[in-house]
């Protein structure tokens, strides 16, 4: 008997492409962003990336070992998750953050659901959202060279001017993988190499831009739209997160639908919700709609398309689904914006009442507050730009004059905003007596970390300013101040405290320059 | 209405350089010849010879049994050794007529008698084709005299000679078109006489410039036939792809090409029609490729049907290449060919190649298999616009209702494109074939 040859079902040849190559392709195309991130944010960024990747791979290895499953770390998918997660974190996070994030991503989102190909949402983004919820402060504390400051997106949300070129090239201030140019380059490489198809990125970016144009509040302003496109990870999301094959639809039509859903939801969350995390949440929510999208986007096959029945079916089936999905998101968008519009005046009224109440508190002698033409002109002359050079991102909003019952000037109230808060803007009213003494401060906008930065709103901190006459307050990070103009920091919240001190100093400076 | 190409498809390495420029050599078999009675689709033929009978080359040894069936003629002279089940290239056993080849190839009387086809009626032409035992030589094995007599003969718009040859390694049709262009064109003209309103189209992939040129030259003086050069893409040679490209019509399960106004036959079938009608020669020989990286002399052969595959590899093609080992032998090409356990099986009418491979890519890919990534590449390449990814899920869960009704899984033509492209190396094709068989079995119950 001569030897038997191998038997198998046709086809007997296979493409070179393997799961490993697909995954390492993604890693390779993330390299421009990774390298740039490390270059821009320094060595700590590298540590964050290394820990994240290591944690992801280790978690997968250990799980497979314990669960007696074949070892799957060499297919590269765990490393991709780790890398993607790291690129979504600020460079200065403590190293346990990427470790826990990757562990959560791999263990809870991927391994527990059956490993590669079975996770129902993007593990990297799920990991990031887990971190956002559990370690909100650390994950949104963006620092460059050790200095915290607001991200361009916070500025954008506050209606301030941002530098789009900076955002595009360097990713000014944000997560490690925030360089839009480097991400776009990687995405382009991935697309050319056939790693991703065009449907999802194009659908996400176009629908997102359209949504911003429609509901962003600035109409079709190319610069404004470009700024939104360059910030908040929409490019990263569109190119690398939403295109994750496991958690996106399998058909071309499905991918388009999914992309539109991601784009519109990102827009909704960006415009009406928390701006930094809009894309993450939009994608993981859309991930959960994928089985449904798959189901409605099954293409009509060859032979059923051209027959009369097939034609009718074909021309109806997909567009109906697409139109329905678009309509739902549009209606949701319109409702949200409607609610926003309706509540806007109400909110403004309440804001005014809150402002008025704060004026009264910091200028107790006054019975009436009014505008002063000269001072108003001085405020307007600032043009909404950052005030001065030594106060961080401080903005003078408004100054009112408080008068007592007999019409004499009882003091001034300067409303000032600092963009350097840990979680965004801090706005406060600073009451200044006619002799330059600070009567007191009162917050009208304070959204800092509960139990930490929020303590700035407590009297213990606020009262340190009251009754002091000085040119400048100084933040004492060690505590136990002796000098009058030294302010003890709120323990563990030096960023928030510093922002407040800077804001008060800006108010004093403005007072000295324009009112005194 | 014609299109440039069909939707989907893949580009496997065509590997044709092994044998594409090797001209035909006639190979006359030395050993015993085996003729399975089921070399065609339909009912097996009925033997008309008995053990011990002397037969001549070209003599009828089994006749068509019923409407969809085909005659079988002996391709050699000798004596009937036995009529008993023998293993076929499919790996199954089939009743076969075994002839002791005397090596003389003495033909029966009348072979080679020239006839001018223009003097024949349609009925006479069909009778000659039927007598010659011609079936689809490209692989399908559908009796040609049945295919050429559709109910709607007057509505046929295209008679297509399929010279796409999109399977990797195989080059016998390429050489056939280069060598016998005139015969193919005449064969096509003969077929056109059966379809008054039809136009003849010879469809060739662009990677065969010599064949395209030869066929164009042969067509130039003739009315109503033309060459259509199409982009290189697998599975271009599939009947549905061809019809969508030529006629712009899409066939579905249960439809015949004639329903789309088309008749499609392989170029070698078309040539066989010419030989049968004009040269009075029944189907005894056909073009055949023996190729692959493990064979010493890849070649194109004019072989006798019934020859043992072992003889073709070991004698005609010089055996296995020095220093190599054959891991896998395919009857046909690597995309749709059948893997054979051994070489001791006869070549039947619809086989056109043996591919001898030194590496088994399927075996090599096995350790690379992972879970499905849902990347959707299979959906992109399916020439029928099916969703192999979803079909695989439904098949694995044995949700046959969904597989058949919602996902149109039975439409699958088993071209293997999805399996070829899959980065996770899932055995999709195997699963689909098995599922289709199970569904069909359940239906028959």
Cis bond upstream, residue B235 (ω within 30): yes
Q: Residue A511 in contact with residue A432, Cβ under 8 Å?
A: yes
The residue range of the domain holding A465 is 363-514
Query: Looking at the partner chain, which of A197, A250, A301 has a beta carbon nearest the beta carbon of B384?
Result: A301
Closest to B294 measured CA to CA, from B280, B281, B313, B307: B313
User: Beta strands B199-205 and B225-230: pairing type?
Assistant: parallel
Please check whether residues A144 and A206 belong to one and the same domain: no
Report chain A residues whose CB lies below 8 A from the CB of B385: 299-302, 305
Report chain A residues whose CB lies below 8 A from the CB of B364: 14
Q: Quick check: A152 pLDDT over 70? A: no
DSSP state at residue A451: T
> Does some domain include residue A165?
no
Q: Residue A249 in contact with residue A255, Cβ under 8 Å?
A: yes
Q: Quick check: A325 pLDDT over 80? A: no
The whole-angstrom distance between A450's CA and the closest CA on chain B is 42
> Does some domain include residue A73?
yes
How would residue A1 be classed by pLDDT, with cut points 50, 70 and 90?
Answer: very low
Q: Whole-angstrom Cα distance, residue B294 to residue B251?
A: 38
Please check whether residues A301 and A374 belong to one and the same domain: no
Query: Looking at the partner chain, which of A5, A248, A252 has a beta carbon nearest the beta carbon of B326?
Result: A5
Q: Whole-angstrom Cα distance, residue B169 to residue B187?
A: 26
Contact A19 B368 (CB under 8 A): yes
Out of A65-79, A251-265, A316-330, A355-369, pick the least confident. A316-330
A contact residues 117-136, partner B, Cβ 8 Å cutoff: 117-118
Please check whether residues A352 and A373 belong to one and the same domain: no
3-state SS class at B436: helix
Contact B362 A8 (CB under 8 A): yes
Give the highest mean pLDDT range of A218-222, B4-8, B261-265. Answer: B261-265
Interface A-B, measured as beta-carbon pairs within 8 A, has a size of 183
Report chain B residues whose CB lies below 8 A from the CB of A252: 376, 379-380
Give the highest mean pLDDT range of A171-175, A362-366, B8-12, B426-430. Answer: B426-430
Residue ending a domain, choose from A317, A343, A362: A362
Residue range B73-99, pLDDT digits in tens: 999 999 999 999 999 998 899 999 999
Please check whether residues A373 and A330 belong to one and the same domain: no
Strand partners, A414: A399, A430
Q: Return the pLDDT at A435.
A: 85
Report chain A residues whose CB lies below 8 A from the CB of B5: none
Please check whether residues A370 and A341 belong to one and the same domain: no
Report chain A residues whose CB lies below 8 A from the CB of B338: 10
**What percentage of chain A reaches a pLDDT higher than 90?**
29
Where are the domains positioned within chain B? Answer: 16-23+112-278, 30-101, 285-364, 369-444
CB atoms within 10 A of CB B320: 17
| ipTM attached to this prediction | 0.88
Q: From residue B225, give the alpha-carbon distance in Å to each of A95, B192, B204, B210, B257.
A: 74, 9, 13, 18, 19
Closest to B211 measured CA to CA, from B227, B189, B193: B227
The whole-angstrom distance between A315's CA and the closest CA on chain B is 16
Give the CATH number of domain B16-23+112-278: 3.40.50.11540
Q: Give, in words, the CATH class of B30-101.
A: mainly beta
Token duo for residue B405? 């009704």
In the numeric block, the tokens 């088993």 are attached to B414
> Does some domain include residue A237?
yes
Q: Higher confidence at residue A153 or residue A215?
A: A215
Q: Return the pLDDT at A257.
A: 92
Nearest CA in chain A to B423: A18
> Does some domain include residue A191?
no
Residue range A283-318, pLDDT digits in tens: 999 999 999 999 988 988 888 876 544 444 444 455
Contact B327 A6 (CB under 8 A): yes
Q: Return the pLDDT at A333.
A: 67
> Does some domain include residue A69?
yes
The average pLDDT across A141-163 equals: 60
The alpha-carbon radius of gyration of chain A (Å, integer) is 27
Q: Return the pLDDT at A403.
A: 86
Q: Whole-angstrom Cα distance, residue A516 to residue B131?
A: 118
Report chain A residues whose CB lies below 8 A from the CB of B259: none
Strands, E, within A322-451: which ranges? 368-370, 394-403, 409-421, 424-432, 437-446
Contact A302 B375 (CB under 8 A): no
Q: Whole-angstrom Cα distance, residue A275 to residue A82?
A: 24
Residue range B100-131, pLDDT digits in tens: 999 999 999 989 899 999 999 999 999 999 99
Please tell me if residue A343 touches chain B, with a CB cutoff of 8 Å: no
Contact A304 B406 (CB under 8 A): no
Report chain A residues whose CB lies below 8 A from the CB of B169: none
Closest to A221 measured CA to CA, from A273, A156, A152, A168: A156
Q: Return the pLDDT at A268.
A: 87
Contact B373 A114 (CB under 8 A): no
Please check whether residues A125 and A221 belong to one and the same domain: no
In the numeric block, the tokens 């609610």 are attached to A339
Q: Return the pLDDT at A312.
A: 42
Q: Return the pLDDT at A340.
A: 67
- Average confidence score pLDDT of chain A: 84
Contact A245 B362 (CB under 8 A): no
Burial A212-226 (b: 16+ CB within 10 A, else e): bbbbbeeeeeeebbb
> Does some domain include residue A47?
yes
The whole-angstrom distance between B334's CA and the closest CA on chain A is 5
Q: Quick check: A144 pLDDT over 60? A: no
Residue range A476-511, pLDDT digits in tens: 887 777 788 888 888 878 888 888 998 999 888 888
3-state SS class at B188: helix
The whole-angstrom distance between A340's CA and the closest CA on chain B is 39
Q: Quick check: A153 pLDDT over 70? A: no
Contact B339 A5 (CB under 8 A): yes
The whole-angstrom distance between B276's CA and the closest CA on chain A is 34
Q: Return the pLDDT at A2.
A: 58
Q: Return the pLDDT at A308.
A: 40
Q: Return the pLDDT at A313.
A: 44
Q: Return the pLDDT at B435.
A: 95
A contact residues 276-305, partner B, Cβ 8 Å cutoff: 294, 298-305
The alpha-carbon radius of gyration of chain B (Å, integer) is 21
Please check whether residues A221 and A120 belong to one and the same domain: no
Instruction: Compute the residue count for chain A.
Output: 516
The average pLDDT across A255-264 equals: 93
Token duo for residue B104? 């003389």
Q: How far is CA B125 from the centre of its chain?
A: 22
Report chain B residues whose CB lies below 8 A from the CB of A303: 240, 250-253, 255, 384, 411
Q: Whole-angstrom Cα distance, residue B74 to residue B98?
A: 10
Residue range B274-329, pLDDT digits in tens: 999 999 999 999 999 999 999 999 999 999 999 999 999 999 999 899 888 999 99
Q: Which of B8, B249, B373, B419 to mutate to test the interface with A (most CBs of A within 10 A)?
A: B373
Report chain B residues whose CB lies below 8 A from the CB of A19: 368, 370, 373, 423-425
How would residue B9 be classed by pLDDT, with cut points 50, 70 and 90?
Answer: confident
Report chain A residues whose CB lies below 8 A from the CB of B386: 301-302
Handedness of CA B175, B176, B182, B188 (dihedral sign): negative
Contact A9 B424 (CB under 8 A): no
Q: Return the pLDDT at A156.
A: 66
Nearest CA in chain B to A21: B423
Q: In the Cβ-directed half-sphere of A165, how many Cα atoms lie within 13 Å?
A: 0
The average pLDDT across B333-362 equals: 93
Out of A220-234, B134-148, B222-236, pick the least confident. A220-234
Please check whether residues A97 and A224 belong to one and the same domain: no
How would residue A274 be classed by pLDDT, with cut points 50, 70 and 90?
Answer: low
Token duo for residue A355? 């402002």
Q: Return the pLDDT at A157.
A: 62
Residue range A66-111, pLDDT digits in tens: 999 988 888 899 999 999 999 989 888 899 999 999 999 999 999 9
Residue ending a domain, choose from A116, A148, A180: A148
Terminal alpha carbon distance of chain B:
42
Please check whether residues A403 and A330 belong to one and the same domain: no
Q: Higher confidence at residue A69 or residue A230?
A: A69
Contact A294 B407 (CB under 8 A): no
Please check whether residues A368 and A352 belong to one and the same domain: no
Structurally, how many domains does chain A consist of?
3
Please tell me if residue A342 touches chain B, with a CB cutoff of 8 Å: no
Q: Return the pLDDT at A363.
A: 85
Report chain A residues whose CB lies below 8 A from the CB of B170: none
The whole-angstrom distance between A12's CA and the closest CA on chain B is 5
Report chain B residues whose CB lies below 8 A from the CB of A118: 371
Please tell me if residue A308 touches chain B, with a CB cutoff of 8 Å: no
Please tell me if residue A217 touches chain B, with a CB cutoff of 8 Å: no
Please check whether residues A330 and A201 belong to one and the same domain: yes
Please tell me if residue A71 touches chain B, with a CB cutoff of 8 Å: no
- Average confidence score pLDDT of chain B: 93
The average pLDDT across A376-399 equals: 83
Contact A6 B384 (CB under 8 A): no
Residue ending a domain, choose from A342, A362, A382: A362
Q: Quick check: A264 pLDDT over 60? A: yes
Q: Residue A426 in contact with residue A510, Cβ under 8 Å?
A: no
Please check whether residues A430 and A308 belong to one and the same domain: no
The topology under which CATH files domain B285-364 is Ubiquitin-like (UB roll) (3.10.20)
Residue B40: exposed, middle, or buried by beta-carbon count in 10 A (0-12, 13-18, 19+)? buried
């Amino acid at each position: 008997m001569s030897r038997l040859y191998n038997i198998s079902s046709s086809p007997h040849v296979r493409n070179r492409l393997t799961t490993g190559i697909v995954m390492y392709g993604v890693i390779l195309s993330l390299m421009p962003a990774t390298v740039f991130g490390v270059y821009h944010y320094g060595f700590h960024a590298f540590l964050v990336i290394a820990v994240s990747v290591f944690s992801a791979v280790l978690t997968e290895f250990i799980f497979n070992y314990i669960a007696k499953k074949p070892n799957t770390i060499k297919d590269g998918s765990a490393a991709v998750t780790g890398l993607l997660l790291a690129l979504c974190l600020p460079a200065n996070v403590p190293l346990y953050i990427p470790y826990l994030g990757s562990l959560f991503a791999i263990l809870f989102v991927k391994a527990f659901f059956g490993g590669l190909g079975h996770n129902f949402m993007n593990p990297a983004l799920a990991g990031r959202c887990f971190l956002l919820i559990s370690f909100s402060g650390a994950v949104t504390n963006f620092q460059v060279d050790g200095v915290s400051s607001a991200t361009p997106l916070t500025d954008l949300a506050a209606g301030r001017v941002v530098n789009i070129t900076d955002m595009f090239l360097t990713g000014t201030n944000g997560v490690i993988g925030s360089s839009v140019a480097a991400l776009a380059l990687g995405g382009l490489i991935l697309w050319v190499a056939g790693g991703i198809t065009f449907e999802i990125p194009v659908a996400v970016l176009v629908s997102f831009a359209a949504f911003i144009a429609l509901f962003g509040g600035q109409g079709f302003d190319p610069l404004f739209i470009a700024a939104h496109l360059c910030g908040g990870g929409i490019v990263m999301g569109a190119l690398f997160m939403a295109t994750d094959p496991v958690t996106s639809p399998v058909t071309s039509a499905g991918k388009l639908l999914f992309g539109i859903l991601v784009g519109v939801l990102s827009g909704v969350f960006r415009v009406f919700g928390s701006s930094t995390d809009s894309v993450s949440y939009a994608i993981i929510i859309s991930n959960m709609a994928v089985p449904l999208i798959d189901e409605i986007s099954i293409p009509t096959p060859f032979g059923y398309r051209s027959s009369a029945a097939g034609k009718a079916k074909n021309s109806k089936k997909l567009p109906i689904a697409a139109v329905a999905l678009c309509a739902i998101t549009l209606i949701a968008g319109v409702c949200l914006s409607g609610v926003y519009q309706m509540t806007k005046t109400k909110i403004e009224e309440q804001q005014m009442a809150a402002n008025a109440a704060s004026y009264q508190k910091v200028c107790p002698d006054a019975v009436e507050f009014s505008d002063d033409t000269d001072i108003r002109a001085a405020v307007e002359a600032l043009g909404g730009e950052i005030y001065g050079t030594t106060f961080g991102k401080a903005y003078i909003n408004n100054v009112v004059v408080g008068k007592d019952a007999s019409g004499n000037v009882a003091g001034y109230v300067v409303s000032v905003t600092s963009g350097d808060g840990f979680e965004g803007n801090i706005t406060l009213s600073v009451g200044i007596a006619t002799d330059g003494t600070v009567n007191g401060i009162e917050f009208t906008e304070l959204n800092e970390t509960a139990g930490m930065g929020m303590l700035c709103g407590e009297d213990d901190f606020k009262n340190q300013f009251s009754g002091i006459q000085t040119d400048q307050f100084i933040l004492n990070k060690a505590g136990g101040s002796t000098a009058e103009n030294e302010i003890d920091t709120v323990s563990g919240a030096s960023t928030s405290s510093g922002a407040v001190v800077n804001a008060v100093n800006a108010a004093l400076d403005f007072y000295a320059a324009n009112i005194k | 209405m014609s299109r440039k190409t069909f939707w989907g498809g893949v580009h496997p390495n065509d590997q044709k350089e092994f044998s594409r420029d090797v001209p035909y050599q006639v190979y006359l078999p030395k050993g015993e010849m085996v003729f399975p009675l089921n070399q065609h689709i339909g009912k097996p033929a009925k033997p008309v010879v008995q053990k011990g009978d002397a037969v001549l080359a070209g003599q009828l040894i089994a006749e068509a049994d019923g409407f969809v069936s085909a005659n079988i003629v002996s391709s050699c002279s000798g004596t009937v050794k036995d009529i008993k089940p023998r293993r076929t290239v499919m790996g199954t056993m089939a009743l076969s007529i075994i002839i002791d080849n005397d090596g003389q190839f003495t033909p029966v009387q009348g072979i080679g008698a020239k006839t001018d086809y223009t003097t024949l009626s349609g009925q006479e032409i069909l009778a000659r084709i039927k007598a010659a035992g011609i079936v689809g030589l490209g692989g399908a094995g559908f009796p040609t005299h049945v295919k050429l007599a559709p109910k709607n003969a007057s509505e046929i718009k295209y008679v297509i000679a399929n010279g796409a040859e999109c399977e990797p390694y195989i080059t016998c049709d390429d050489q056939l078109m280069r060598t016998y262009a005139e015969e193919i064109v005449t064969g096509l003209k003969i077929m056109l006489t059966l379809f008054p309103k039809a136009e003849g189209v010879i469809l060739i992939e662009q990677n065969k410039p010599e064949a395209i040129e030869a066929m164009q030259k042969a067509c130039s003086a003739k009315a109503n036939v033309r060459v259509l050069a199409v982009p290189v893409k697998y599975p271009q040679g599939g009947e549905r792809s061809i019809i969508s490209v030529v006629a712009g019509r899409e066939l579905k399960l249960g439809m015949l090409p004639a329903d789309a106004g088309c008749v499609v036959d392989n170029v070698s079938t078309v040539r066989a029609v010419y030989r049968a009608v004009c040269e009075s020669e029944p189907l005894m020989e056909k073009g055949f490729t023996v190729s692959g990286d493990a064979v010493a002399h890849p070649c194109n052969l004019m072989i006798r049907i019934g020859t043992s595959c072992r003889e073709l590899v070991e004698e005609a093609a010089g055996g296995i290449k020095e220093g190599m080992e054959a891991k896998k032998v395919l009857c046909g090409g690597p995309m749709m060919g059948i893997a054979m356990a051994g070489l001791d099986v006869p070549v039947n009418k619809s086989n056109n190649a043996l591919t001898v491979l030194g590496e088994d890519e399927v075996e090599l890919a096995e350790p690379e298999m992972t879970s499905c990534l849902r990347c959707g590449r299979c959906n992109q390449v399916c020439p029928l616009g099916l969703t192999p990814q979803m079909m695989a899920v439904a098949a694995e869960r044995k949700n046959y209702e969904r597989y058949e009704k919602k996902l149109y899984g039975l439409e699958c033509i088993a071209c293997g494109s999805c399996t070829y492209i899959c980065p996770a190396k899932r055995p999709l094709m195997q699963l689909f074939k098995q599922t289709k068989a199970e569904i069909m079995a359940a239906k028959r119950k």
